[in-house]
Amino acid sequence: MPRTGIANLPLHGGRAPRWLFERMRKLAREIVIAVVEDAGPHEMLARLSDPFWFQALGCVLGFDWHSSGVTTTVCGAIKEGTKDLGGELGLFVCGGKGRVSRRTPDEIRDRGDEIETDPETLVYASRLSAKVDSSAVQDGFQIYHHAFFFTTDGTWCVVQQGMNESSGSARRYHWLSDSLDDFVNEPHAAICCDERQLALNLVAGESAPARGRIAELARERPISIIQELHNARSLTLPGRHHVSASDIDPKRLAKTFLSTYERQPQGFEELLGMPGVGPKSLRALALLSEVLYGEAPSFRDPARYSYAHGGKDGYPFPVDRETYDRSIAFLKNALRLARLGRTDKLDALRRLGGFERASAGAADAAGEPALEPPHGG
């Protein structure tokens, strides 16, 4: 069962050197081809949506296992490595870091003739997944990287990352359409991280009553909402309340509430998707939901790795360029032979993977550490 969710990583500056990124691009290309040819493009999406597999892929490609840079670099290597294979593999990659992420909708539309679904449904998924993790989940991380992977039939996954400069950390968010029942109710199927903190979580299951009230309030006349916010600023709020009225400026929110009143969103998802509705307006509506109706939102943080070639900064050991190049050549040759009907090399890789999983399972059962490959293995 694919695990999707959130991973926390320390912020890491700098860039992957060109000599390493070129190798990452080549090896990522061969790995994607191998997975797709063996199990199909949907399997590739499932693996990318698993924070553990994604992290392991970064290690295999030679990037720092624990740093924020693994997200942007791995996604970039996959995008660059497979950009000419989209139609052949049935797998496409859009988006990236910073300004590149804002071109995601146009990149999706550019593939419209190669897919079997309306590209606007994919554009909607891209935008709303970003909106959820930047506005509906207010955990202190500002989204700055958004990669959108999708198949010919419209299945998709998202790998995006936010930054928290004050804590010196980044948080990576994984989405998978196959495991998604509702964009605004527990959209992450499983969560993995070491840090948990106070977060306004409007997509938590227990926030459902608050979401209903928030959408209801958004349909009210702006003057009524603004007046209630002024009143709330003068209240002595309960100690458990984590939405500070002092952080809300009713005058600045008036324009947003005029827009929501005119459009009359029928539910929280529709409200969230509206332009201009961001963290501040949602905090204000969440505050009123509790003050006026007693429907408090959740403040539960939604958040809850093998070396093959080394790491770019020399940890746990320097990148072994010779071994890296041999790995690319081996996998490329294995795929070439497999297309000719000789699958012995790929079969060997599958057996090795099965042995590793069996070893890890036996070690878990015995309470012992699993076998680890030697450096460069």
Percent of the chain scored above 70 by pLDDT?
Answer: 68
Least confident of 221-225, 277-281, 335-339, 354-358: 354-358
363 in Cβ contact with 370 (< 8 Å):
yes
Q: Supply 363's token pair.
A: 């070690």
171 in Cβ contact with 11 (< 8 Å):
no
Residue whose tokens read 């995601």 = 104
> Tell me, what's the pLDDT at 52?
77
Mean pLDDT of the region 130-137: 94
What pLDDT, in 10s, does the model give residues 337-353?
Answer: 666 665 665 565 555 45
Mean pLDDT of the region 40-46: 94
| Preceding peptide of 316 cis, ω within 30° | yes
Mean pLDDT of the region 246-255: 77
> Tell me, what's the pLDDT at 330?
61
Burial of residue 13 (number of CB atoms within 10 Å: 0-12, 13-18, 19+):
exposed
Q: Supply 89's token pair.
A: 């593999």
Band (pLDDT 50/70/90 cuts) for residue 306 is very low
Quote the CA–CA distance of 232 and 3 in Å, as a whole number: 41
Residue 183 has pLDDT above 80, yes or no: yes
What b-and-e string marks burial along 82-114, b requiring 16 or more CB atoms within 10 Å of the CB? Answer: beebbeebbbbbbbbbeebbeebbebbeebeee
Q: Supply 96's token pair.
A: 């990236």
Residue 260 has pLDDT above 90, yes or no: yes
Q: Where are the beta strands (DSSP E) in the chain?
A: 6-10, 91-97, 137-138, 142-151, 156-164, 169-176, 200-201
Residue 368 has pLDDT above 50, yes or no: no
> Tell me, what's the pLDDT at 154?
96
Residue whose tokens read 């202190």 = 140
Percent of the chain scored above 90 by pLDDT?
Answer: 45
216 in Cβ contact with 265 (< 8 Å):
no
Quote the CA–CA distance of 283 and 267 in Å, as a whole number: 16
Alpha helix (H) ranges present in 193-317? 208-218, 222-233, 250-263, 268-272, 279-293
Band (pLDDT 50/70/90 cuts) for residue 68 is low
Q: How many other C-beta atoms can be found within 10 angstroms of the C-beta atom of residue 263?
A: 15
Residue 93: helix, strand or coil by DSSP?
strand
The rounded mean pLDDT for the chain is: 79
Residue 311 has pLDDT above 60, yes or no: no
Write phi, then psi, for 57 (nearest 5 degrees).
-60, -45
> Tell me, what's the pLDDT at 232?
73
Q: Is the pLDDT higher at 326 or at 30? A: 30
8 in Cβ contact with 171 (< 8 Å):
yes
Q: Which residues pair with 150 in a beta bridge?
A: 92, 156
